[in-house]
Amino acid sequence: MSKAVELAGRKFSRLTVVERVCSTHEGRVQWRCVCECGASSIATGKNLQSGNTKSCGCLQREARSKATQANVKHGMCGTPTYRTWASMLERCNSPKARGYENYGGRGIHVCERWKEFDAFRTDMGDRPCGRTLDRIDVNGNYEPGNCRWATAKQQSRNTRVNRYVNGVTLAELSESTGIGYTTLRARLEKRPGEDPTARPVRNKSSGNAANPVRLPAKQRELI
């Protein structure tokens, strides 16, 4: 087993490590910490170093308090817009939240302005029916200019696993050219530098090549 990294004296967010204490049943080293609020807590070295544990719990309590205060102020608790805002804060700030590893766990944050519900609602407006909050840059933060109320179709296309050709997803390219998504993907994987729409698509029923559908010149410049 590798030697545990010495953390005593180091600070992680609101926590300052004081001393090493007993390990967990799984063998993970635990450390006694003092929070900026004055409370003492125990955390594993793994959670401290990964950022999963940032305080004694006061950060979560403050977030809940802000949410409660916001509801008293505007009476919007329970509305689609408010639930979206609260979920945004939770998945970025609480390691126990569903999907945290894809948001706060990989460095996605909520800007300071949007930690207040009224400011978020002023910038984004009320959530339209059938739409959800979407970050335009999936690696960017929740902040003005990088968020929109998106349809389910837009959401499904705007993910880190999508394939793009000159800023256009393969799904969108398939719709505009009539060439099957699977065919386009196979062409890109086989010949990464080639325009995937350049070659004709064969008509399986007749064995003849259909008229090729090509990208506009501007989209063919870079693949």
Q: How far apart are CA 141 and CA 206, in angstroms?
A: 51
Going through 28-155 in order, the beta strands assigned E by DSSP cover 29-35, 40-44, 132-135, 147-150
Amino acid at the residue 131: R
Going through 13-107 in order, the beta strands assigned E by DSSP cover 15-23, 29-35, 40-44
Using CA atoms in the order 188, 189, 193, 195, what is the torsion angle rounded to 10 degrees? Answer: -20
Give the CA diameter of the chain: 78
Model pLDDT for residues 208-221, shown as the tens digit of each residue: 444 444 555 444 44
Model pLDDT for residues 124-150, shown as the tens digit of each residue: 999 999 888 988 888 899 999 999 998
Q: How far apart are CA 160 and CA 147, in angstroms?
A: 16
pLDDT at position 42, please?
A: 94
Q: Is pLDDT larger for residue 187 or for residue 72?
A: 187
pLDDT at position 171, please?
A: 61
Q: How far apart are CA 101 and CA 95, in angstroms?
A: 8
Model pTM score: 0.45
